[in-house]
Amino acid sequence: MTDLADQSRPRSRTTKATEVETGWHHPSEHRLRRLVLEHRAALGTLAVFLVMMSIFIAANPAVFMTWSIYSSVLTTLPVALFVVVPLVFVVTGGEIDLSFPAVMGFSSWTFALLVQADFDPFIAMAAAILTGLVLGFCVGALVVYAGLSSLIATLGMNFLLRGLIQIVNEGKSIALVTLGDSPAYKIFSSEILGVPVQIFWAVGFVIFATLLYNRHRFGAHVKAVGDNPDSAKQMGINVKRVRVKLFVFMGIGAAIGGTFSTMINFTWWPTAGDGYLLPVLASVFVGGTPTWGGVGTVVGGAIGTLTVAFIQTGVVAAGLSGFYVQFFNGLIIILSLVGHRWNQERYR
Amino acid sequence: MAEHLIEFRNIKKSYGSVDALGGIDLYVDKGEVLGLIGDNGAGKSTLIKILAGVVKPTCGEIIVRGRPVSGWNAGRSREAGIETVFQDRALALQQSIVHNIFMGRELVGMFGWLKLKQQLAEADRLMREIGFTSEAYTPRSIVGQLSGGERQGVAIARAIYKQADLIVLDEPTTALSLAETAKVFQFVRQVRASGRSIILIDHNIHHIFDIADRFAVLDRGKIVLEADRSKVKSVKELVGFMEHVARAASAGGGHAKAAGGVAP
């Protein structure tokens, strides 16, 4: 049967050297081709974004020539980016986190309380991030060590934390009047030459996260765990710890996002973060990170965020009534998903 | 007697009153391919789990390079240079070849940043070493795009990384086509050529007849036959003997053992 396999090759240790040295050519070492192949999800997202923008601009060129339309998007976009990027990691790791809106609200609540109590906003920010970290750990521990489904458990945590906020605050907001004069505000929330400074922080965060995802052990472990947890475990990766870290990262991102959002508005609302649930989820998947885990793209997620952020602005600016916004939201999401499905294959 | 790489002496394993292994004596020498054959339930997987240190034997001795090792466990097994490629192959299919090879033991520099170039070079070297001669793939290729035999090659490369001396392949050709099986055996030959030893496990003697230097046939927890490849003229002879053993075993419960040769 397997006589074919033998071909009576010599059984000596000096196997024909040619056989080992030839072969293993590098056709896809061609740099450009490899880059396109490796980043095809992100490039697809970019294409969707560009097509969408050209349609908007064609519909009403005058509006898109003014800076204010971009300025307004650039103010709110960073908040979403701080949440979308960690969520790309979470989805790549084979999990989902729906508790981030409440974590955003909860951590920025810490921030608001401390600023209101005359603490330095830097300290308040650190405390907010710590809050996010602890909440993320709690959510992660619940999912990983109690063995709950992340979809349901994080949904439950979202309601639970938001409920706590509502019970304590009874719907009252906190105004942060002194915030505008602080150095922290200038560093994190002012403008440089008319460009909202948050966007620089957010872009820095995206670059850091991209490196973490592609060039760090953590990213490698997240992909391994999301792809084949049994394999990862067999190869000595502490799967549970990686999963908990994912939720901690998510908590930190949500805390930063929530704090930025509070700074922009000078006010903390008990509903802070609530509106981000669906746009953020949409951004991750529009960005080209598939639902099945193991693969994803941080840059794609960032472009996806940009796409989702511009839909509302663009629809209104293009002269359509606000009633069209949801329809276009849905249209872009569905078209992107179809595109990505065609663009990438799932191996099993 | 020459010193064996790994030797099992009178290894027994019982689960309650059931004897999974009833006194196994088995050895592997440096640079040889040992074919371990046996039906489902013969005790093959128990044996390799003991070898990997995942399962503890009830009694018996494990000798590595002439020295008895006490407190045998997964760590000791790795220290002894034993790497097991499990049946399910355990590869992450959406990931690249290099990512799979270094999974869980990435080469990192400061703060855990990956040494990507070094990993790529090392993966390239490993794949060449086992004779992965496909022209279409590089260490960056996604494992899911490879054929079954090539995936097995990645699993083998992963096992020989870290200088494993003994690689245990658990049914590596299951569900593979003839051409793919040939490919896997090509990898196995390259590994042997590099001086490493291999235990090849299969339930079908035809699969591994041509590649193994020595055979051990396992039946109901005992080695019923141990034979050198050079002493066996054809696969038919071996099959005939195995049938004979099976008949004798079912008739009287006795076990024949022919060390070093086969009595027709």
Report CB contact under 8 Å: B92, A28: no
Tell me the β-bridge partners of B96.
B142
Residues of B in contact with A235 (CB under 8 A): 90, 103-105
Examine the pLDDT at A244 and tell me if it is beyond 80.
yes
Of A26, A211, A228, the CB nearest to B138: A26
Please, what is the average pLDDT of chain A?
88
DSSP state, B114? B
Examine the pLDDT at A30 and tell me if it is beyond 80.
no
End-to-end CA distance of chain A: 29
Give the chain B residue nearest A4 (alpha carbons): B182
Of A19, A21, A234, the CB nearest to B90: A234
- Model confidence over A297-314: pLDDT tens digits? 999 999 999 999 998 888
d(CA A130, CA A116): 18
Of A25, A217, A231, the CB nearest to B112: A217
Q: Please state which of the four CATH numbers 3.40.50.2300, 3.40.50.300, 3.40.640.10, 1.10.10.10 is assigned to the domain occupying B6-87+166-252.
A: 3.40.50.300
Is B211 near chain A, with CB under 8 Å?
yes
pTM of the model: 0.85
Sketch the domain layout of chain A as residue ranges. 41-341
Q: How far is B254 from chain A (nearest CA, A)?
A: 31
CB pairs under 8 A between A and B: 143
Examine the pLDDT at B61 and tell me if it is beyond 70.
yes
Give the chain B residue nearest A226 (alpha carbons): B92
Among B83, B103, B120, B202, which would you mutate to test the A interface (most chain A Cβ atoms within 10 Å of its Cβ)? B103
* Domain range A41-341, CATH class: mainly alpha
Q: B112: how many CB neighbours lie within 10 A of its CB?
A: 15
pLDDT at residue A14, rounded to an integer = 39
Report CB contact under 8 Å: A3, B210: yes
Report CB contact under 8 Å: A220, B114: yes
Cα–Cα nearest to B3, from B254, B180, B199, B197: B197
Helix/strand/coil percent split, chain B, to 5 = 35, 25, 40
Please, what is the average pLDDT of chain B?
83
Examine the pLDDT at B1 and tell me if it is beyond 90.
no
End-to-end CA distance of chain B: 27
Tell me the β-bridge partners of B84.
B168
Per-residue confidence at B98, pLDDT binned at 50, 70, 90?
Answer: very high
Q: Which amino acid is at A273?
A: G
Which carries the bigger pLDDT value, residue A280 or residue A60?
Answer: A280
pLDDT at residue B88, rounded to an integer = 64
Report CB contact under 8 Å: B124, A12: no
- Model confidence over A55-85: pLDDT tens digits? 999 988 888 888 888 888 888 899 999 999 9
Report CB contact under 8 Å: B210, A21: no
Q: How far is A261 from chain B (nearest CA, A)?
A: 31
Q: What is the DSSP string of B114-169?
A: B-HHHHHHHHHHHHHHTT---SS--TTSBGGGS-HHHHHHHHHHHHHTT--SEEEE
Sketch the domain layout of chain B as residue ranges. 6-87+166-252
Matching residue, tokens 């995936």: B151
Examine the pLDDT at A47 and tell me if it is beyond 70.
yes
| Residues 6 or more apart whose Cβ sits within 8 Å of residue A152 | none
pLDDT at residue B256, rounded to an integer = 44
d(CA B140, CA A26): 10
- Per the CB < 8 A criterion, the answer to whether B21 and B13 are in contact is yes
Main-chain phi, psi angles of B36, to 5 degrees: -110, 115
Report CB contact under 8 Å: A15, B104: no
Among B77, B94, B133, which would you mutate to test the A interface (most chain A Cβ atoms within 10 Å of its Cβ)? B94
pLDDT at residue B149, rounded to an integer = 85
Residues of B in contact with A23 (CB under 8 A): 132-135
Q: How far is B1 from chain A (nearest CA, A)?
A: 23
pLDDT at residue A108, rounded to an integer = 96
Examine the pLDDT at A21 and tell me if it is beyond 60.
no
- ipTM comes to 0.83
Of A14, A216, A294, the CB nearest to B92: A294
Examine the pLDDT at A18 and tell me if it is beyond 50.
no
